[in-house]
Amino acid sequence: MLYFTRWKAAAIVLTALVVCLFAVPNFFPEATVNSWPKWAQRHLVLGLDLQGGSHILLEVDTAAVRKDKLEATRDDVRRVLRDARVGYTGLVVRGNSVEVRLRDEASSATALTKLRELSVPLGGILGGSGQMSLNVTTEAGNLIRLTVGDAAILDRVRQSVEQSIQIIERRVNELGTVEPLIQRQGADRILVQVPGLQDPTRLKELLGKTAKLDFRMVDVGTPVEQALQGRAPPEDDLLYSSTAPKTPYLIEKRVVVSGAELTDAQPGFDQRTSEPIVSFRFNTAGARKFAQATQENVGKPFAIVLDNEVISAPVIREPILGGSGQISGSFTVQSANDLSILLRAGALPAPLTIIEERTVGPGLGADSIAKGKMSSYVGAGLVVVFMFATYGIFGLFANIAVAINVAMIFGVLSLLNATLTLPGIAGVVLTVGIAVDSNVLIYERIREEVRAGRSPINAIDAGFSRALATILDSNITTFIAAAVLFYIGTGPVRGFAVTLGIGIITTVFTAFTVTRLIVATWVRWRRPQHVPI
Amino acid sequence: MRLLRIVPDDTKFDFMQFRRISFPISAVLSILAIGLYFFHGLNFGIDFKGGLLMEVQSKTPTADLSKMRATLSGLNLGEVQLQQFGGPSNVLVRIAEQPGGDAAQQAAVQKVRGALGDSVEYRRVEVVGPRVSSELLSYGVVGLGLAIFGILIYLWFRFEWQFALGAMIANVHDIVLTIGFMSVTQIDFDLTSIAALLTILGYSLNDTVVIYDRIREMLRRYKKMPMAELLNASVNQTLSRSVITHLTVTLALLALLFFGGQAIHSFAATMTFGVVLVGTYTSIFIAAPILIYLGVGRGTDALTGPDSGKASTKSK
């Protein structure tokens, strides 16, 4: 146990040294580190609890996705049946299905064939799961039911998450913050972490809006009063203005131009009234559609609808052919700015709900760093003194080994670009406890072997070989706990699991190599006649 | 230099005899802890209960709690708890989960921010919606179960089933007592507490495994020694290590407890209780003596393990 070949000793020293060196970039300012070669730039990332910032967990509103999907299916059915000239008496959404009652049972074969075409394989052409988006069944001859399965909804939700992540990235980047993290979590969630953000109110406003903008015509043929009594025509929506007093409008469901066809949106001021406005520009297709609609409807009002609220409903005075325009509607400078950010970034495919928010101010973060440092220094200091008092020169060896161990933990953490949280610092402090234990196990074993009458070198040798098995066993159990913690934990708790887990690995490594090498070197040098512990 | 000797060499405490006292004590304490859990309950934190938690620092040197309470009670947000936290200007505001799902929690944050305005600095704002909180709780419970199970499998693999079972009983005992402690002190029970419980588990096992390792070694070496005597010898031989290790861990924990700040105070307190008080006691007074009842055999798997040959030649 005490004999090392030259190569082995060199390999141990080199490994420990290299791992420790990876911790070096943490001691230099970021600007300096950035000028170094890429491989040397890896460093620890401070968790949001230490540097301050906002952690927001968003969830795609599955109920809204389902409702959207069902309504879209209903509209598809209406279109298909009209094109196929199949008459029907009822078309409703019921539960997870769309039900249509045909006027004539004889047409059911035609209707079924046409409606079955609406169903497409899930997951696109590639990697399809064999499941279909719709399950079309027929009942009692003239009733056809199109069921939207859970798999279809899940598929939509998954797509929504993918699209939403991109849109959120564009929105958050407009805030001009440093290194925001936007990540999918599970099937229907998105995690947004913005370091350094003190007040997430604005961020939440930007994330919480779907920003679905439509240009639609106002239905002037039907009085609004009729719709208010619950008898709105099926091709219209009853919507309200976004500002108080809430004015009802009857707006056609058909979208003239959608927000997806905008190429740019900028905040500005109206030249005459100097009110804040948002000016926008359509792409070619959008411009053509808008020009055509305004040509056909001069003198009639159209509506700009944002998230099912009417922002404004101006009357078309003349055809708008240039493909650009402006929205005015009691904006403040801030809200005009926000709306243009949202329009540029695009609409979310489905509404997002904030289900968790954790924000730490910079003051608390700085306090936590100071406290973490303080407790680490005090803890380490106490342990160092205690070990020296208990084991003398061997205590000193233990302290050196533990110091190398801690440096290696920071090296590995930097190499992984891991996040250091306050519980993570606690993990390091506790690792010091575990690391010391491995030395205690070895030394106590050596003491026993000495008492059993072995010669010093024999006792040290036996002490190591017997204690190392125990060290391995006991550390694996703690490692299992750390692994579980990593698996179930989020944020700060996961940070704790990471440092604890890495700490256990480096502890086992140092116990098996570094400590042994130090003691072996000392034995060779001093040739002790008795063991001084 | 004279070195510190905390535990003298060759102690001969009769730990096994003590089981007649320690087992009943543990049984009573465990029942008490379970009773506390059911009748006194845990102080579930925001992670598991949902709701709002805000740490604010007033811009005046001392926070006017009664004024803040009056302001916040006027918002109709149900139960509002205010608590001095750390310094005199720091206040922890807790508001129970609002009925009406996730959006309602967000609305409540806006109300509180609106009411307190710029009179305070918002050091920490946490909002956990109803679904996240129930998920976190089930994750926590599942995690604890998984950890115990995983460790059990490992010990079964490494030792004999009696050891694994003994360690598991000791484990559950630790967890139950620590939960009792959390109930008595009404420490916030949150994700960090689960982390604390898992670490206690790890540490306590670490300790138990060290003693079990020695018991296994002794079983191989002294085939004829009576069981109680053998267990006693094993615990006594590892006593010095147990005490010294616990002292160093205690030193590290006390540093966290006194200098780590409010954010990890409850974590450090739970750990101190679980590791220092319960963990040590358990490995010595529960985990080892329980092997008497579980009937650890001689000449079975453990003795024909991969390194048993080596152990017996050394012991000649």
| Shortest Cα–Cα distance, A287 to chain B (Å) | 37
- Whether the pLDDT of residue B182 is over 90: the answer is yes
- For residue B310, the model assigns a pLDDT of 41
Residue B108, token pair as written in the block: 């409540």
C-alpha span between A530 and A393 (Å, rounded): 13
Using CB atoms, pick whichever of B207, B240, B267 lies closest to residue A426.
B267
Of B198, B252, B314, which has the smallest distance from its Cβ to A484's Cβ?
B198
Q: What percent of chain B has pLDDT over 90?
A: 18
Instruction: Give CA–CA dist A47/A417, Å, rounded.
Output: 11
Q: What is the pLDDT of residues A213-241, one digit of tens each?
A: 889 999 888 888 888 887 778 788 889 98
Nearest of B269, B161, B249, B257 to residue B206 by alpha carbon:
B249
* Gap between the Cα atoms of A86 and A102, Å rounded: 8
- Look up tokens 């994750």; give the residue: B139
Nearest to A327 by CA among A175, A203, A213, A210: A213
Q: What is the mean pLDDT of chain A?
A: 86
**DSSP codes joined into one string, A481-494:** HHHHHHHH--HHHH
Rounded to a whole number, what is the distance in Å from the CA of A424 to chain B's nearest CA?
11
Q: Do B258 and A482 touch (CB under 8 A)?
A: no
**CA A336 – CA A35 distance, rounded (Å):** 40
Please list, in sequence order, all residues whose beta carbon lies within 8 angstroms of the beta carbon of residue A464, skipping any fewer than 6 positions away.
Answer: A1, A2, A442, A445, A446, A516, A519
Percent of chain A with pLDDT over 90: 17
Closest partner residue to A474 among B10, B192, B209, by Cβ?
B209
3 state DSSP class of A440: helix
Please determine, for residue A444, whether its predicted confidence score (pLDDT) is greater than 80: yes
Reduce the DSSP state of residue A56 to 3 states and report it: strand
Gap between the Cα atoms of B77 and B75, Å rounded:
6
B57 three-class SS? strand
Kind of pairing between the strands at B120-128 and B51-58: antiparallel
The nearest CA of chain B is from the CA of A281 a distance in Å of 34
- Tell me the pairing of strands A181-185 and A189-195: antiparallel
Q: Which residue of A has its CA nearest to B47?
A: A356
SS3 (DSSP) at A22 = coil
B93 has which bridge partners?
B54, B82
Task: Point out the residue among A423, A473, A489 whose CB comes nearest to the CB of B213.
Answer: A473
Q: Label residue B9 by pLDDT band (50, 70, 90).
A: confident
Q: Report how far residue B67's alpha carbon sits from residue B122's, in angstroms, rounded to the nearest whole number.
A: 17
Buried b / exposed e across B89-113, counting CB within 10 Å, b at 16+? bbbbbbbbbbeeebeebbebbebbb
Q: Test B4 with A390 for CB contact under 8 angstroms.
A: yes
Closest chain B C-alpha to A70 CA, distance in angstroms: 23
Taking CB atoms and an 8 Å limit, are B198 and A368 in contact across chains?
A: no
pLDDT at position B315 over 50: no
Of B55, B126, B209, the CB nearest to A473: B209
ipTM of the complex: 0.84
Q: For residue B313, what pLDDT band results from cuts at 50, 70 and 90?
A: very low
CB contact (8 A) between residue B192 and residue A493 = yes
Helix (H) or strand (E) holding B285: none
Q: How far is B295 from chain A (nearest CA, A)?
A: 22
Contact check, Cβ <8 Å, A481/B124: no
- Close Cβ partners of A372 (under 8 Å, ≥ 6 residues apart): A50, A422, A425, A426, B260, B261
The count of other CB atoms within 10 Å of the CB of residue A381 is 12
Interface test with B, best of A62, A194, A355 (most B CBs within 10 A): A355
Which residues are bridge partners to A148 per DSSP? A134
Q: Parallel, antiparallel, or unpaired: how do β-strands A309-312 and A419-420 relate?
A: unpaired
B123 within 8 A of A360, measured Cβ to Cβ = yes
CB contact under 8 A, B102 and A354: yes
Q: What is the mean pLDDT of residues B298-302?
A: 49
Nearest CA in chain A to B203: A478
Point out the least confidently predicted range of B29-38, B77-86, B181-190, B282-291. Answer: B77-86
From B51, B39, B101, B58, select the one nearest B77 (Cα to Cα): B51
Q: How many CA atoms lie within 13 A of A470 on its CB side?
A: 30
Nearest Cα to B43, choosing from B103, B107, B90, B92? B92
Query: Would you call A444 and B240 a contact, using CB atoms and an 8 Å cutoff?
Result: yes
Contacts of A462 in chain B (CB under 8 A): 314
Mind telling me how many Å the CA of A59 is from chain B's nearest CA? 10
Helix (H, G, I), strand (E, B) or coil at B59: coil
Say if strands A45-46 and A419-420 run parallel, antiparallel, or are unpaired.
parallel
Give the mean pLDDT of B66-73.
Answer: 86
Beta bridge partners of residue A419, listed in sequence order: A45
Interface mutation target, options A1, A210, A356, A391, chain B, most CBs of B under 10 Å:
A356
Alpha-carbon dihedral sign for residues B190, B196, B199, B203? negative
pLDDT in tens, B117-142: 888 888 889 999 888 888 888 888 88
